[in-house]
Structure 1
Amino acid sequence: MKRKIEKLGHSQEFTPLLSYTPLSGGKRLRPYLIYLFSEPLGVSKEIYLELGTAVELFHSGSLVQDDLPSLDNDDYRRGKPALHKLYGEGRALLAADYLMLYSGKIISSISLPAKLIVELMELWNETALEVIEGEFLDISISKGRPEEVEKIHRLKTASLFGFCFSSPYVCAGEVRKAISMKSAGIDFGRAFQIFDDIKDKVGSIATLGKTPGKDESQGRPSALRYMEIEEAKEYARKLYTEAIKKIEFIEARKALLEILSMIEKY
């Protein structure tokens, strides 16, 4: 993954911008989830590394967008200056576009039968469009009613997790099973976002790697607009449990239970 990222772009001027956010740290949770389901399904390492790279690049591009002054206006990401603070807003925006578009190029080039590539690309295109729509709603809706907040969470955050859960099944030729696994990934992603809302309220820049309290100060939709912290935790754990119930692999279930303790920390 690192070698592929370091070679992004076609010019010495652009490459540092493209690699900055993907190589700046982070948990790499999304590629790990793809690996977690690919291994027991017999999906080759070559395929799941390509899938994981594509998802991580897209996610990085979305973070660059998220930090822009016209969106969340954050100066830090993963404990480092946000990309636009180093290179300017225009260059950062173009880098984000490139990262998010290049992900589709990677996925379309994966070595799979044509029928499965079509299925995989349909799943990916739907996911990518949902993430962008979720971001739009996030900056367009002030505070938001519970159903609006849940819709934003589902699109902006949970959709990409749905892809991580389901894409290995598509690659393994189990397209019907991929549908239920996308649902599991959506539950996982919604839980993840609720925990993130909690961290935004009570976390610190040292633990978050970004400015805390941004959602509340900007009036952004958050689960904590209509739930107390303990209630939100309980609901997130319920969603997480529902996701795990849908997973057929024992080792994957165990790994996700371990991940829960990491996600809950703030």
Structure 2
Amino acid sequence: MEKHKKILNKQLLASVSGLDAPPVLKEAMAYSLEAGGKRIRPLLLFAVIDSFGKNPEIGLSTASALEMIHTYSLIHDDLPSMDNDDLRRGKPTNHKVFGEAMAILAGDGLLTYSIQLIAEDKNLQADQKVELLQLLSQCAGPEGMVGGQVADMEGENKELGLDDLEYIHTHKTGKLLTFSVLAGAIIGGADRSQMDWFKHFSHHLGLSFQISDDILDVTGDEELMGKPVGSDTGRHKSTYPSVLTLKGAQEQLARHIEEAKTALRQTNLNTGILNQITDLVADRTH
């Protein structure tokens, strides 16, 4: 995981620096990519490819595209018109450094360049590119992450039930995690049964990731997190601890983690690394 994280980070910055684009735009795009983070989505993609016994690096362009879309969503999420955050991963947010207009354009650049990266990937067959681009558009767009963000905004200052909360998080956070897993399965050559089990796995892992995020917003360490804790409460957002209590949220997290691991076993693949990533989600501290 550490090896491929380093390879990915190098590839991300090389891709952006090689663009024929205004220097300030490239600088703004690279700034948020360089902020780092866990890179959980690309690592999931690499781990799924590895479970098929294939070299994870054949998914490098797709992993880069995925991380660019995730990063664009964070840049836009932090804007004054959205969550109005000053810090991201311990650094000033993009708009605090480059201004609102350039932050919006940096996000736009990352989103659109991600499509180009997959389309130009020489490691993929034409039918794989089409399948990946269709899935990515669905998971990142109005039926996925963007739709989830809208539902999340509309849910502020309201008391949401568990079903509403799961809809938001399945879409806002879970859909890109689903793409990570299913993209790795497409590149790895999964059969229909394996694709179905990977869908189950990604669904439960996505919810686990968000529940742990909500728990950390209550119990986390600001220094480790690189951002203020309690921000969801301050914005009057419904979260798993507010709906289920902290203990109930922790029990729900344990249930989804177990469901994710059960689905992994059904793929009949070498999923050791995927199990470790699932444990990291369950036990994360930031």
TM tier, shorter chain? over 0.9
1:163-209 Cα deviation digits (max 9, x unpaired): 11111111133252324312311210111101101111232321211
Opposite residue 155 of structure 2, the aligned amino acid is: I
Query: Which deviates further from its counterpart, 151-160 or 51-60?
Result: 51-60
The aligned counterpart of 2:232 is: 215
Counterpart of 2:176 (choices 143, 146, 160) is 160
Superposition RMSD in Å: 1.8
The aligned counterpart of 1:114 is: 126
SS in structure 1 opposite 2:33?
coil
Query: Which deviates further from its counterpart, 202-211 or 81-90?
Result: 202-211
Q: How many angstroms apart in 2 are the aligned matches of 1:90 and 1:117? A: 32
Q: For the structure 1 residues 194 and 25, does the alpha-carbon distance in structure 2 shift closer, same or farther, using more than 3 Å as the test?
A: same
Q: Check if 1:251 corresponds to 2:272.
A: yes
**Aligned pairs (5 A) from 1:1-266:** 1=11, 2-8=13-19, 10-111=21-122, 112-129=124-141, 130-142=144-156, 143=158, 144-174=160-190, 176=192, 177-247=194-264, 248=267, 249-260=270-281, 262-263=283-284, 265=285
CA contact (8 A) 1:107 1:121 kept: yes
Q: For the structure 1 residues 148 and 257, does the alpha-carbon distance in structure 2 shift closer, same or farther, using more than 3 Å as the test?
A: closer
Query: Which deviates further from its counterpart, 65-74 or 44-53?
Result: 44-53
Q: How many residues align?
A: 265
Opposite residue 60 of structure 1, the aligned amino acid is: T
Query: Which deviates further from its counterpart, 182-191 or 252-261?
Result: 252-261
Q: For the structure 1 residues 232 and 239, does the alpha-carbon distance in structure 2 shift closer, same or farther, using more than 3 Å as the test?
A: same
Cα displacement (A) at 1:236: 0.9
Q: For the structure 1 residues 221 and 108, does the alpha-carbon distance in structure 2 shift closer, same or farther, using more than 3 Å as the test?
A: farther
Q: How many angstroms apart in 2 are the aligned matches of 1:203 and 1:240? A: 20
Opposite residue 181 of structure 1, the aligned amino acid is: F
Q: How many angstroms apart in 1 are the aligned matches of 2:74 and 2:278? A: 26
What TM-score results when the alignment is normalised by the length of structure 2? 0.86
Query: Which deviates further from its counterpart, 152-161 or 224-233?
Result: 224-233
Q: How many angstroms apart in 1 are the aligned matches of 2:238 and 2:279? A: 28
Q: For the structure 1 residues 82 and 125, does the alpha-carbon distance in structure 2 shift closer, same or farther, using more than 3 Å as the test?
A: same
SS in structure 2 opposite 1:246?
helix
1:75-128 Cα deviation digits (max 9, x unpaired): 000000000011111111111111122212212223322222222222111111
Indicate the percent of aligned positions where both proteins have the same amino acid: 31
Q: How many angstroms apart in 2 are the aligned matches of 1:101 and 1:203? A: 34
Opposite residue 126 of structure 2, the aligned amino acid is: A
Query: Which deviates further from its counterpart, 34-43 or 144-153?
Result: 34-43
Q: For the structure 1 residues 8 and 234, does the alpha-carbon distance in structure 2 shift closer, same or farther, using more than 3 Å as the test?
A: farther
1:197-238 Cα deviation digits (max 9, x unpaired): 111123232121112211111112311221111210111121
What TM-score results when the alignment is normalised by the length of structure 1? 0.92
CA contact (8 A) 1:30 1:164 kept: yes
Q: How many angstroms apart in 2 are the aligned matches of 1:179 and 1:104? A: 25
Q: For the structure 1 residues 36 and 69, does the alpha-carbon distance in structure 2 shift closer, same or farther, using more than 3 Å as the test?
A: same
Query: Which deviates further from its counterpart, 46-55 or 78-87?
Result: 46-55
Structure 2 runs not aligned, ≥5 long: 1-10
CA contact (8 A) 1:197 1:222 kept: yes
Query: Which deviates further from its counterpart, 100-109 or 124-133?
Result: 100-109
CA contact (8 A) 1:43 1:171 kept: no
Opposite residue 161 of structure 1, the aligned amino acid is: L
Opposite residue 127 of structure 2, the aligned amino acid is: K
Q: How many angstroms apart in 2 are the aligned matches of 1:148 and 1:30? A: 24
The one of the two structures with greater contact order (alpha-carbon pairs below 8 A, sep at least 6) is 2
Q: How many angstroms apart in 2 are the aligned matches of 1:9 and 1:32? A: 28
